[in-house]
Amino acid sequence: MSLENNLQKAEKYLKKFQEKPVLNHINGQDMQASDGGVFEVISPIDLQPIATVAYGTKQDIDKAAIAAKEAFQEWAALSGVERKKILHKIADIIEARAEEISIIESVDTGQAIRFMAKAAIRGAENFRYFADMAPSARDGKSLYCSGQINITSRKPIGPIGIITPWNTPFMLSTWKIAPALAAGCTIVHKPAELSPLTARLLVEIAEEAGLPKGVWNLVNGMGEDTGRALTEHKAIKAIAFVGESKTGAMISKQGADTLKRCHYELGGKNPVIVFANSDLERAADAAIFMIYSLNGERCTSSSRLLIEEKIYGKFTDMVARKAKTIKVGHPLDPKTVIGPLIHPTHFDKVTSYFDIAKQEGATIALGGEPVQGMENNCSGNCSGTCYVPPTLFTNANNKMRIAQEEIFGPVLTAIPFKTEQDAINIANDVDYGLAAYLWTDNNQQALRVSDALEAGMIWVNSENLRHLPSPFGGMKYSGIGRDGGDWSFDFYMETKNIGFATKPHKIPQLGA
């Protein structure tokens, strides 16, 4: 694999998106927007257009929601074994088209191909995992008490609205869609407008695998109108959303009138806590991986580095030395680690924190200014590039904006702490509570600190290693609900309880 080969493959795979508009897909049919509206998708590599996409309207969402509602009874009635077969077939086709998916995703998002290749395979793994759970998804419990047996069961809740983000969109779409289908739900999917192309591939793959028409509907558009129409639609029983915390709050308001069930995976300002007794080399490698991989555009990135005071200088020097060797470049280059940020607007947001850091008195120990000389990646008259180097802020404290606000780029803020309790206080002193990382060789300390941290997921002496049966999600402004294993089905299904009397019991008589 080389950059040249990947560029040739990208030209081939993108051709179909460039020859005609990317249409919505409703009830098994490709459809233009009801008013003919479209929007343009640009690649962050060179800021040039790569596709024209149908801009879905309220009427399009209505068609999709009705199609999902009409398909629901038949899909929900299908046995779990039959759903399992279809979901495994989807996984087979994803694996067969993994190269195409990863290259298109890389061009669409700016993410390095080394990570997108793995993300495509993880998407197949998500479908396989939930496919195997489909036959038992409705299983419940038998609960005995005196004079009564209670039997619980689960039923799919109905049509689901799924709104996915622009970072690693393919994998995150499968993470939501696979359990919904396994549970017996139908869906209307609105992908992020900045990177919608692999969502189109995914729905094509699903119907090629035998998914019935109307079970999976795709409508593209912007959040403020297309997304809002989805969150407000009466036929949609629940919304699964991955994205910004402010958007999650807005969706709650929009869905309130129809009492929508909502599941949110939102932002994070996740700490990685490093005690002096830990393996510093491994801790540094893990901290670097979790902030600088995927361009730092990930909800679980370790964007705050909390270091025990007596090793602060040593450890920040170690991180800076290692991170300095990270290659920034064209995302289709196999050697690239950091590609361009998703869009000029996001690039402006991330780079604005360079001046904020200086104003707040932090030191820019690494990076801190846009990468120059990337114009060779431009295939046309692009006005600029979106490349940001690995950046490290030192001499920071937790009251600074660079420590409190989600930057969502390859930017790390290093903060010293004196004591264990000090580390806990700093870690918890943010609005977010998605993930945390803890490095210590003291098992008792690991248990104490992890128990005290306000985060939905904590990894001890490890970077983010996902185990699909385990719960994934956050607290505070980082989300509501959990994905993974049986926790996913708690959202996509309704639990029913049936109580059977096992002996006569006294029934109160009123008005006798």
Catalogue the active-site residues.
265, 299
Q: Which residues pair with 52 in a beta bridge?
A: 40
Element (H, E) at 125: helix 113-133
Minimal CA–CA distance to 105: which of 159, 56, 37, 174? 174
Determine the Cα–Cα distance for residues 100 and 474; give it in Å rounded to an integer: 32
Nearest to 149 by CA among 158, 159, 140: 140
- In 3D space, the residue among 21, 26, 25 whose CA is nearest the CA of residue 36 turns out to be 21
Q: Name which of 134, 160, 356 is nearest 263 in CA terms.
A: 160
Structure tokens at 247: 């958007």
- Structure tokens given for 496: 């029913």
Secondary structure of residue 6 in the 3-state scheme: helix
The full DSSP string for 166-183 is: SSSHHHHHHHHHHHHHHH
Nearest to 357 by CA among 371, 349, 346, 368: 368
Among candidates 191, 206, 170, 169, which has minimal Cα distance to 71? 206
The SS3 of residue 437 is strand
Q: Which amino acid is at 260?
A: K
